[in-house]
Every structure is written in C-alpha cells, then in structure tokens.
Amino acid sequence: MDHVPSHKAAAESASPLVSVCMTTYNHAPYLREAIEGVLMQRTPFDVELVLGEDCSTDGTADICREYAARYPGRVRLVTGPHNIGWRANYRRTVAACRGRYVAFCDGDDLWTDPDKLRLQVECLERAPQCGLCYTRTEKRDQATGRSTFLPAGEASTTFDDLLRRYTIGNCATLARRTCVERYYDEVRPVTLHADWLTGDQPMWLWLAAHGGVAFIDRTTAVHRVLERSVSHDPDYRRRIAFCDSTDDIALWFDARYGGGRARGWLRRRRMRTALWVLSYHGPVCDYVARWWRDVRRTPWLLFDPAGYVLLFKKFLPRRRGSTQTPNA
C-alpha cells in the first residue's frame, strides 16, 4: 500500500460532503482564478478546498497561505518541508480530503460554472452504481487563446470506450472518495508505476472498470493548455513519450480488466501516433527506427499501411510546427 501521511485540519468541523483536491506547483499566475472558481460554487452542502502545495519557487505558496488564513476550515493547506514531486503530492492531497466526494482541479485550471458541484453531487446521489461523474471541458490554449472541447462529440462512459477514446478532463470530475482510495490501495501508482506520465487517466480507467461513469453534457471547467505542460510539450520526443505512456496505461488496464480485447487496437494506435508526429518532426532515421521497434514488438504491424503512407508524407512539403497529436 502506498504510504500516506496523516494530516490534521486547521479547524476541525463536521466533515464536508465534497472535498476539492487542488495540487499546485509554480502556478502563481493562475492559482487565484482556480481558487475563486471553487469558492464561487453554489451548494446546499459544505465544501472544503484542499490545497496541495509542493514547495513552489514562485509566489504560489504565499497565495495558498493567504487563502487558508482568509477561509479557515474551508480552505486547508497541505505542504511539507521539501518538494516531493507531482505523484506524491497528488497522493498526499487526496489523502487529506475528508468529503464523501472528491472533485479535482489543478492550480492552473479553473471552474466556470457555479453549479458544477451541485449538479454532479445530485447526479451521483441518483446513481449509486456510478463512482465518477464528469462534464465537458473547455481546453484553452494559453498562447493562442483558441479553445476546443473535450469531449468534442459523444462522451465515453464505459471502460471499453474509454480505452479507445478517452474523453475525461480531470478538472471536470467528481468521484466517490472511497472509490479513489480503493484505486490507490489496489494499483499503488506512486510506488509501482513511476513510469506513468499522468495520474488522472489510470484512476478514471480503474473507476470505469469497477463501476459506472456518468456524464453531464455541460461545460463547467477550463483546462489551460500551457506551452511546457507534459501533455503538450513542444519537444516532439517528449510529446511522443507522453502519448506512449497514455497508450501503455491503457494497455495495462486492458490486460488486467479488459481481457486484452483492445490490445491490438491500442498497439496500432500507439505506433500510428508516434509515426504521425515523426512524419512532421525529426530525421528519417528516427521514423524508421520507431517503426521497426513497433514492428518487432508486434509483427503484424508490418502490414499496417499507415507506416508506409506517413513515411511517404514525410517527404512532401507540409506545414511544420504542429503540436497536436491524434489522441491528445
């Protein structure tokens, strides 16, 4: 079981119905807006905000202390003497949550709908078989101001669908805390899966494999797409590494909870995504090396036409600098 330190509330009161888990590190330009999005929620029940601050080097810690002092008991600060990294900070902050339900919003995202929590709690109260409820998310590119939406169309609400088409924005979720704790106890992502480059996808896949997922067709949150975020890194090698990780996570869950039904589909997507990026970036030798690595691992990919089509396109004049990936 992952080690979880105990945390005592600054001001003890009756446990709130909802805890909001907000991890933050060097989010000073965005954190106030994220916090205010939680404080503006209109609910007939108590809500606590748990700020997991990981020894930032900008003004993030000062902002956290300011809000914790201004709203004692309602805003709680969880931190430590030294930086412990995003995985352990995420776990530490979740462990400090006391509510029956836990909502998630990173310090650089924000909520825009004051009825978000009320609607999601009502949804889960009506559907005891569901462990997770999520809404539509606006993905806002900080550099260009352009927005897209997740999901762009129909939402995935089953384990099999989420393996192939992952449509959950972490800042738009609300989950039963008991389900989240069971995930950490069973999967142990902090100690056993340090190679996973994202923390929310495996958690939501586990909940989907062990119960229902509900969706509210309403945009309630904004996920900021930052230039140097792990999922949108301008370095094509790191971008491929992140996409590989999300597909490897899906493959891990498919093997354990899906009977391996999606293995071939996921391996093909893993190769196609990497080759799509490499058809724009890097030398031809990188493209060929990646293609051959995937073919050696899964020989029938030798007959996938995408490998040859994308190699041909690499030699055509094309617009460079694309940062979007097919399964991002």
Q: Has residue 150 been placed in a domain?
A: yes
Domain boundary at 204, 226, 248, which? 226
Domain boundary at 199, 226, 253, which? 226
Tokens of 308: 């040859």
Q: How many CA atoms within 13 Å lie on the side-chain side of 106?
A: 22
For residue 184, the model assigns a pLDDT of: 98
Q: Has residue 184 been placed in a domain?
A: yes
pLDDT band of 234, cuts 50, 70, 90: confident
Residue 10 has pLDDT above 50, yes or no: no
Same domain, 161 and 70: yes
Instruction: Dump pLDDT digits (tens) for 139-160.
Output: 999 989 999 999 999 999 999 9
For residue 196, the model assigns a pLDDT of: 97
Preceding omega of 151 cis (within 30 degrees of 0): yes
Note down the domain range covering 238: 232-314
DSSP code of residue 313: H
Domain boundary at 226, 244, 261, which? 226
Give the whole-angstrom CA distance, residue 177 versus residue 101.
5
Task: State the DSSP string of 257-312.
Answer: HSTTTTHHHHHHHHHHHHHHHHTTSS-HHHHHHHHHHHHHHSGGGGG-HHHHHHHH
For residue 233, the model assigns a pLDDT of: 75
Give the whole-angstrom CA distance, residue 95 versus residue 177.
9
Strands 75-78 and 47-53, sheet pairing: parallel
For residue 120, the model assigns a pLDDT of: 98
Task: State the DSSP string of 181-211.
Answer: HHHHHHH-HHHH-TT-S-SHHHHHHHHHHHS
Is residue 277 within 8 Å of residue 239, measured between CB atoms? Answer: yes
CB atoms within 10 A of CB 318: 10
3-state secondary structure of 216: strand
Closest CA to 162 of 139, 132, 140, 187: 132
Tokens of 203: 């958690």
Share of the chain above pLDDT 70, in %: 91
Same domain, 55 and 189: yes
Same domain, 176 and 246: no
Q: What is the CATH number of the domain that holds 206?
A: 3.90.550.10
Give the whole-angstrom CA distance, residue 156 versus residue 214.
9
Same domain, 95 and 189: yes
Please give the model's pTM, rounded to 2 decimal places: 0.91
Tokens of 172: 């738009």
Give the whole-angstrom CA distance, residue 193 versus residue 239.
19
Query: Domain tally for the chain?
Result: 2
For residue 317, the model assigns a pLDDT of: 78
Residue 232 has pLDDT above 90, yes or no: no
Same domain, 248 and 267: yes
Instruction: Dump pLDDT digits (tens) for 242-274.
Output: 999 999 999 999 999 999 999 999 999 999 999
Mean pLDDT, the chain, integer: 93
Same domain, 303 and 156: no
